[in-house]
Structure 1
Amino acid sequence: MIEQIFEMLENSEDELIAIRRELHKFPELSFEEVVTPKKIATYLKDLDIEHRTEVGGRGVVGYIRGKKGGKTVALRADFDALPIHEETGLPFASTVPGKMHACGHDGHTAALLLVAKSLKQQEHQLLGDVVLIFQFAEELAPGGAISMIEDGCLKDVDAIFGAHLWTPLPYGEIGFREGAFMGAADRFELTVKGRGGHGASPHETVDSITVATSIVQQLQQIVSRNVDPLKSAVISIGSFHAGEAFNVIPDTAKIVGTVRTFEEGIQSFIIERMNQVVNGICLAAGADYEFDYKKGYPTVVNSKTETEKLVQWSVSNLKNQKVIEIDPVMGGEDFAYYLKHVPGSFFFIGAGNESLGKTYPHHHPKFDFDESALLVAAKLLATAAVHYLEDEKLVGENLVECT
């Protein structure tokens, strides 16, 4: 059956690329998706695929029913864009100023739609059911996964798989990793409240800039001097704003940043240590403060059995691709929430191509990917669905994975 599905996908590659480009031209930001889910639902309707709309808000979920009594596997794609003004110059570039598909979500959705088409044609041979999860709002916490799960998108699902087109990985490679794969992504905001005054009389002020600068320096030492060097953690300051005039010491200074970790123990320790640093420095300087730390997406943890099996299926079916184990990355992904409910695996499809100039990082205004990777993503998602349903050895093991 997988051979027939691959043949159908190969024959539909032009359609696959066309769908991706159409989605790319009309990006919609997280929690603002209106037209995109309608396009997805229309495509599924035209294929006579059972589906639900407005799942968890703006999500779409399709259902392909195979033989009764089998397992149920879910495949997930996201479809939101980013608040970035596109600078690619592509003929199918964003038509919406200040909005862009700069992370490959247009490709993820296009790939899953073609997978839906191919599986629908073979549904009479499927040894179970396939759930197609088209998720909104991956880019902006709290994300769309939580509300879609609460609205039942994982009902009766035994395992889930998801692909991410990844330009740091060259086309021709597929990247997997068992266990912790992508980091927990947190955000913090700190407002230091001092006492402003004339720049010529600093002794009459509580200099918010000086206090905030000291805090930034000390925060950087938490990872280098307080966290086990064999553990992974990142504290990065992305914004520091204070004052407007050259000769005025401002009342307040605001810092915004992110913390990335893989282990909950390290995450908790860093939060505690940051509070100690902020409180101690402000107390010593006579400043007040407001510190708001928000936990974002948890760590993406791929289950052992499903990842090992997917590697085997990839090697067997995608012989022109190099299947490799890759290092964890600190980028966040709310696919993590699905994996907290059911076992599964999230993997990278190499989509970079230096010869084509497809080397810009994700979230860059010139981001683009090698569209040949779309077919690879579609084939591997289809492979995951078909082989998972056929693999009797996985029956019952999911309960073990989720304890």
Structure 2
Amino acid sequence: MLKELYVMSPHVFENFYSQESQETIAEYCDILAPVMSKGELIKNTEILNDETREFIHKKIEQIAHGIGAALDVECVVTYDFKYPPVTNDSQVTTEVVNSLEEIFPDQLVEVEEPLMGGEDYAYYLYEAPGTFLFLSNPSNIEGKFHGHHHAKFDVDESLFYMATAAFVKVALDYLN
């Protein structure tokens, strides 16, 4: 973990000046600049393994409480763990890849490193062995691909048959 002074120093000065400004406002400008007594920060985290989720939770608490103590502000951290990380079963993944290679021999890309940290499918993988698979089907709008959560995201519907073929092939191979 990098613990260099240059990483910390901007935060020290920022918090010092914030605290100094806050005290000045409270002392001289009470009516002109009312200070909020309560606030809420919401942030989504997508973490790729359980150990890191726990580490991040503790780190957020540590930082929030440290800044709160320095600024004489009470901080309450509520960390909602929501979705667990997606953890594919290696045997199922191998079987799925083998099945799909038969019908799409030149079109498979196997992702080696964890990639999905906030997907509800992860709950299924905690109950039964499985694998999360992407069926890439981008459609460009204005000559550009827009990701899943973009307002201009689109898919090429003429390729939907490939998804059906993929799931049918995997299911039949599994049943055999």
- Which string of whole-angstrom CA distances, capped at 9 and with x for unpartnered residues, describes residues 339-372 of structure 1? 1111111101111144885711112222211113
Q: How many residues align?
A: 151
2:107 to 314, 322, 325: 322
What secondary structure, in the 3-state scheme, does the structure 1 residue paired with 2:128 have? Answer: coil
Q: Structure 2 vs 1, CA of residues 288 and 375 (structure 1 numbering), >3 Å: closer, same or farther?
A: same
Question: Aligned partners of 1:369, 1:358: CA distance in 2, in Å?
Answer: 12
- Does structure 1 residue 363 correspond to structure 2 residue 141? no
Q: Who is 1:274 aligned against?
A: 60
Residues 134-283 of structure 1: pairs in structure 2 closer than 5 A? 201-204=24-27, 248-251=33-36, 252-283=38-69
Deviation at 1:250, TM superposition (A): 2.8
Q: 1:202 to 1:305 in 2, by over 3 A?
A: same
Shift of 1:199: 8.1
Higher relative contact order (CA 8 A, sep 6+): 1
- Which residue does the alignment assign to 1:336? 122
Higher strand share: 1
Q: Displacement, 1:200?
A: 10
Q: Residues 358 and 368 of structure 1 are in contact (CA less than 8 Å); yes or no, is this contact kept in structure 2?
A: no
Instruction: Give the Cα–Cα distance (whole angstroms) in 1 for the partners of residues 169 and 157 of structure 2.
Output: 19
Higher helix share: 2
Contact 2:86/2:121, CA 8 A, preserved across alignment: yes
Q: In the TM superposition, what is the alpha-carbon distance from 1:253 to its structure 2 partner?
A: 3.7
Q: Which amino acid aligns with 1:204?
A: E
Instruction: Please name the residue that 1:8 is paired with.
Output: none
Unmatched runs of 5 consecutive residues or more in structure 1: 1-197, 206-246, 391-403
Q: C-alpha deviations, 1:67-96, integer Å up to 9, x for none?
A: xxxxxxxxxxxxxxxxxxxxxxxxxxxxxx
SS of alignment partner, residue 41 of structure 2: strand
* Residue aligning to 1:235: none
TM-score by length of 1: 0.34
Structure 2: distance between partners of 1:307 and 1:297: 21
Say what the alpha-carbon RMSD is for the aligned residues: 2.6
The amino acid that maps onto 1:322 is Q
Residue type at the aligned position of 2:43: G
Q: Distance in 1 between matches of 2:67 and 2:115?
A: 32
Question: Residues 308 and 199 from structure 1, CA distance in 2 versus in 1: closer, same or farther, beyond 3 angstroms?
Answer: closer
Question: Identity of aligned pairs, percent?
Answer: 29
- Structure 2 spans left out of the alignment, 5+ residues: 1-20
Tell me what 2:7 maps to.
none
Secondary structure of the structure 2 residue equivalent to 1:259 = coil
